[in-house]
Amino acid sequence: MFFILHWIFPLRVKIEYSQLMLAKNDQVLHAFLTSDDKWRMKTELDEIIPKLKKAIVYKEDKYFYNHWGVNPIAISRALFNNILQGHKTSGASTITMQVARLLSPKKRTYANKVIEMFRALQLEWKYSKDEILQIYLNLVPYGGNIEGVKAASLLYFGRMPHQLSLAQITALAIIPNRPTSWVIGRTNEAIVKARNKWLKRFGKANIYEPRFIKAALEEQLQATRSEAPHEAQHLAYRLRSRYSTESIIRTTIDKSKQDKIQQLVANYVRRLKVKGIYNASVLVINNHTKQVEAYLGSPFFYDKKHAGQVDGVKAVRSPGSTLKPLVYALGFDQGKLTPKSTVADVPINLNGYSPENFYKKFNGIVNIETSLANSLNIPAVKALKMIGVHYFINKLREARFEQVVKDEKKLGYSMILGGCGVTLEELTNLFSVYSNGGRYTNLCYLKSDTITTNRKLISSAAAYVITENLTKANRPDLPSSFENTIRIPKVAWKTGTSYGRRDAWSIGYNAAYTVGVWVGNFSGNGVKSLVGAEVATPLLFQVFNAIDYNSKKEWFKAPKDLKVRWVCAETGLPPNSFCESQVIDYYLPLVSPTQKCDHLKKVFVSIDGKESYCVTCRTEGKFKTVLYPNLAPEMVAFYNMEGIAYRKIPPHNPRCTRVFEHPAPVINSLSTNKEYIVDRDDPPELMLTCIAHNEVKTVYWYINDQFYKAASPNDKVFFKPTRGMIKVSCSDDQGKSSSIGIRVLYE
């Protein structure tokens, strides 16, 4: 008969629990109400400790482990007493029958009692005794919208069920009998009286040792209802949307670190508010496990005025200069750059794009080490041009930069200076690559997550070289508040400031952690003082001092394939016979440049040094060989523009027919002194072409005395004009040049 009824009326147990987000140590970080606005938290089997189990079973159903869901003796006794007294004086519900009633509440009638018995048998058939007890502890009422021991334990005592004392366990064991009249925080005296009564019964029954009973009787009850935990809100909502069906989400968050960073950032932003800065975000990655141990989308989640619920870890922002280390690392791996390689930090124009440095000044010849340490823009753009924009984007695709991939067709050289969209999560994980020997791996947010992506993004040698550069403390982006202080943690870090000073970044790492910091306004409002070095880096250092203070952990070691060599300080290339100043540089054998230094060139000059000769016009015995700086045209133009003195090659022999038998290049695409009227909003590009001698291989174009582009004499070169007088010059590789002037007007 039971099986027929079981088939006709199947048991359906569907319990909605409050979704909990747990820290790495299983402490609750964040809890969500159920859809019916209940705090109903799932108690795990391993949280039902023996003390809790004994108290509940002894009080509610002594023979719980000895019957099949229905206790015939208890039913007979209750029925006899009720008939004898003429009204209901006692019940006979087992824990299993109470579970049946909690799963499907009904009026207390004899008919419904029979249904409870049937459901109890079904429960016993389907579940083990411990599982039935677990369901009971998850559904038992505690007044208001609190259901279950775990919710009551957390909201009344601020701890998990397995952490409760015997006195607290006993209090929670008796409240379900009168959940509306026994309310912790309002009727504590009555609860203590009833609690002690049951503690004495436990003592008489030898349920617990006398010393435990004595301690529990003396324990005061000063608890009151508190708010449910709401830490790491941004991560909680992010994971909730991803794992909506999970009742318990076990994260990798280290609660201690999360709490420290939450408080630290909140205090820091409060101090920044006077400057008009209201938001900050921090992400902490454990480099050994790739687990995210702290996640702060913003310090004030409920600050509606300043969009506190925006998740700054996922928000797409301009990265400023934070991508520069990657472009230099890739240049190193391609064999095009080494730390001591030099580049001209002078004005350039790349198809109309003319970047400037942060402080609006140029530095002439600098090496890559200096360029990165000072976060110079021109060298970074040149490095990107060297390795290729497409190649760079493909590397960011491998590192899962989603917005960069979406905007791939629109991106150009400006992306290395912040002209693209990234997130703090993407940037922080990118910097963890440098601490991981150049390998990119996915982040782990859950304890169950594993490393599913593990690819070589850059070489371990490039990662080490970048780390060495980013570790140096004698840099202009060292915050002034940290000068000459022992509070500087040993980390490698890079700052960034977006255009318009809307975003301040500082990403740093050591062997143990990678920390990403963003400071700014979610509204996008720029602030004059919003500079990565002065606003974001102090917070980065504070975070490192909070989570890894005075770390004694081993630092990074140079990989075996990374070698050192002497190079000329002028070019970073292997020294030539004329290189007097040499320095040690890192390099990769069979990869790094091997050509000899060419910063000087031999020139035939007259004995008095006033004329220079070519092979054709020199006269035996009447010349000498002198070394002169082998300057690129852009450096000559820069020195002339800035009025910087340099050793110039003497004028060529005017009697030399080979050089002077052909004229200077003639600019034939524009007419001198002519007015060109263009559209103000969208001026068209003007074309530059010239007629040069057939022996000329290269011509150099200048706009207003600034080097613009080198090209073949037959190439068509285009530039976007600006309003006013414009000087256009063209020089050939034989030293001949010509210029014209045009006037540009807006229609």
For residue 448, what pLDDT is reported? 94
Q: What is the model's pLDDT at position 91?
A: 56
Determine the length of the chain: 747
Choosing from 60, 293, 534, 611, the catalytic residue is 60
Average pLDDT, the chain: 89
Q: How far apart are CA 267 and CA 393, in angstroms?
A: 38
Q: What CA–CA distance (Å, rounded) separates 251 from 416? A: 34
Instruction: Please tell me the predicted confidence (pLDDT) of residue 553.
Output: 74
User: pLDDT at residue 90 above 60?
Assistant: no
pLDDT score of 653 more than 90: no
- The verdict on whether 321 is a catalytic residue reads yes
**Whole-angstrom distance, CA of residue 20 vs CA of residue 31:** 5
Q: What mean pLDDT do residues 15-41 have? A: 94
Name, in order, each residue with C-beta under 8 angstroms of 181's C-beta and a sequence gap of 6 or more. Answer: 187, 190
Secondary structure (H, E, C), 553-582: CCCCCCCCCCEEEEEECCCCCCCCCCCCCE
Element holding 677 (H helix, E strand):
strand 675-678
Give dist(CA 297, CA 192) in Å, integer: 43
Q: Please state, in angstroms and rounded to a whole number, the distance separating the CA atoms of residues 429 and 449.
A: 16
User: What's residue 260's pLDDT?
Assistant: 96
d(CA 497, CA 138): 51
725 or 85, higher pLDDT: 725
Question: What is the DSSP annotation of 585-653?
Answer: EEE-TTTS--SPP-SEEEEEEETTSS-EE-TTT--TTSEEEEEEE---HHHHHHHHHHT----PPPPB-
Asked if 570 is an active-site residue, the reply is no
Stretch (H or E) spanning 665: none
Tokens of 446: 């859950």
- From 339, 383, 254, select the one nearest 592 (Cα to Cα): 339
Q: What is the 3-state secondary structure (H, E, C) of 500-531?
A: CCCEEEEEEECCCEEEEEEEECCCCCCCCCCC
Specify the pLDDT at position 463: 98
Query: What are the two backbone dihedrals, phi and then psi, of residue 625, each rounded to the nearest 5 degrees?
Result: -100, 125
Determine the residue type at 52: L
Report DSSP state, residue 742: E
Confidence of residue 664 (pLDDT cuts 50, 70, 90): confident
Q: Report how far residue 102's alpha carbon sits from residue 117's, in angstroms, rounded to the nearest whole number.
A: 13
- pLDDT the model gives residue 484: 45
Cα 328 to Cα 293: distance, rounded to the nearest angstrom: 29
Q: CA-to-CA distance for 291 and 284, rounded, in angstroms?
A: 9
pLDDT tens-digit readout, 227-277: 999 999 999 999 999 998 889 999 999 999 999 999 999 999 999 999 999
Does 87 score more than 80 pLDDT? no
- CA 196/CA 191 separation, integer angstroms: 9
Strand partners, 515: 284, 508
300 token code pair:
């004030």
Q: How far is CA 693 from CA 188, 333, 663, 733, in A?
A: 103, 40, 7, 10
Q: Is 330 helix (H, G, I), strand (E, B) or coil?
A: helix
Chain centroid to CA 104: how far? 47
Instruction: Give the pLDDT mean for 92-102.
Output: 87
Q: Up-side HSE of residue 368: CA atoms within 13 Å toward CB?
A: 31
Q: Tokens for 245, please give them.
A: 């069906």
How many other CB atoms sit within 10 Å of the CB of residue 721? 18
**CB atoms near residue 455 (< 10 Å):** 11
pLDDT score, position 640: 78
The answer, yes or no, to whether residue 6 has pLDDT greater than 80, is: no
Helix (H) or strand (E) holding 82: helix 72-85
Give the pLDDT confidence of 140-164 residue by residue, as tens digits.
Answer: 999 889 999 999 999 999 999 999 9
Beta bridge partners of 717: 688
Tokens (6 digits) for 81: 């007493």
On whether the CB atoms of residues 585 and 565 are closer than 8 A, the answer is yes
> Kind and range of the H or E element at 707?
strand 706-711
> In this structure, what token pair is assigned to residue 730?
């063209």
Domains (ranges, CATH) in the chain?
2-20+28-218 (1.10.3810.10), 599-661 (no CATH), 662-747 (2.60.40.10)
Please state whether beta strands 39-40 and 146-147 pair in parallel, antiparallel, or not at all (unpaired). parallel
Q: State the pairing for strand pair 717-719/724-732.
A: unpaired
The answer to whether the CB of 284 falls within 8 A of the CB of 291 is: no
Name the E strands within 273-414: 279-286, 292-296, 342-345, 364-367
Token digits of residue 461: 């040698």
Written as one letter, the residue type at 222 is Q
Give the per-residue pLDDT at 218. 92
Q: What is the pLDDT of residues 341-376, one digit of tens each?
A: 999 999 887 766 778 887 778 899 999 999 999 999
Model pLDDT, residue 480: 64
Q: Does residue 377 surpass a pLDDT of 90?
A: yes
Using CA atoms of 183, 185, 190, 194 in order, give the dihedral in degrees to the nearest 10.
Answer: 70
- Could you tell me what percent of the chain has a pLDDT over 90? 62
Amino acid at 521: N
pLDDT tens by residue, 602-644: 999 998 888 888 887 887 778 899 999 988 877 887 887 788 8
Pairing of strands 28-31, 675-678: unpaired
Band (pLDDT 50/70/90 cuts) for residue 89 is very low
Contact 298, 281 (CB under 8 A): yes
Per DSSP, the three-state class of 693 is coil
pLDDT at 291 over 90: yes
**Once rounded to an integer, what is the mean pLDDT over residues 438-446?**
97
Q: Could you tell me the CA-to-CA distances from 598 to 150, 569, 586 in Å, in that order? A: 76, 12, 19
Looking at the predicted structure, is the pLDDT value of residue 522 above 90? yes
- Identify residue 458 by its one-letter amino acid code: I
pLDDT in tens, 472-521: 867 776 776 655 455 678 899 999 999 999 999 999 999 999 999 999 99
The one-letter amino acid code at 140 reads V
- Decide: helix, strand or coil at residue 421: coil
Distance, in Å, from the CA atom of 552 to the CA atom of 107, rounded to the nearest integer, reads: 67
Q: Does the pLDDT value for residue 658 go beyond 70? A: no
What distance in Å separates the CA atoms of residue 375 and residue 322, rounded to the nearest whole number? 9
Residue-level pLDDT at 581: 94
- From residue 223, how far is each of 227, 607, 655, 690 by CA, in Å? 13, 101, 105, 89
The more confidently predicted of residues 242 and 735 is 242
643 phi and psi angles, rounded to 5 deg: 70, 30
Catalytic residue among 18, 281, 318, 321: 321
